[in-house]
Amino acid sequence: MIRFLHMVAITALIASAVYAYSIKYETLYYTEQVAKLKAQSQRERDAIAVLKAEWQLLNKPDRLQAAADRHLDLQPMAIQQLARLSDLPNRQVRDDEIGRKLEALGILEPTSTPKDKSAEARTPTTQTPKR
């Protein structure tokens, strides 16, 4: 009987050692995966920073002005191009199609709400306490 208990104990010891080593190597694997993801996210952040710097370089006002002068053939603004507010046409009145349909159905008319008699009973009043 003692031999059987020794064999069970040795088997349990070996099983627990295998389980501990499997957890250890699984932990190392996941740690490696996390390190790879952190490195990848850092590379992405660096790439975004480079793209932002390139964008700022491309949007420099003096560079854009030179490109506009070279390619757009812009002319100075003439005084005839300016308009006064009184020269603009009046805005057209917008029709409310849904409102007209509701009026035709009689839905927009005011309704009478019945008075709640119990509301008067619930009206709070202030009273000075008697001492």
Residue-number span of the structural domain to which 54 is assigned: 2-71
Check residue 125 and give left, alpha or beta (phi > 0: left; psi -120 to 50: alpha). beta
Between 12 and 131, the more confident residue is 12
Q: What is the pTM of this model?
A: 0.44
Q: Which two tokens stand for residue 51?
A: 């793209």
Within-domain flag for 13: yes
Residue 131 covered by a domain: no
Number of compact structural domains in the chain: 1
Q: What pLDDT digit, counting tens, does each position of 74-112 carry?
A: 888 888 888 888 888 888 888 888 888 888 887 776 666
pLDDT value of residue 95: 82
Q: Looking at the domain assignment, is residue 121 inside a domain?
A: no
Count CB atoms within 10 A of the CB of residue 8. Answer: 10
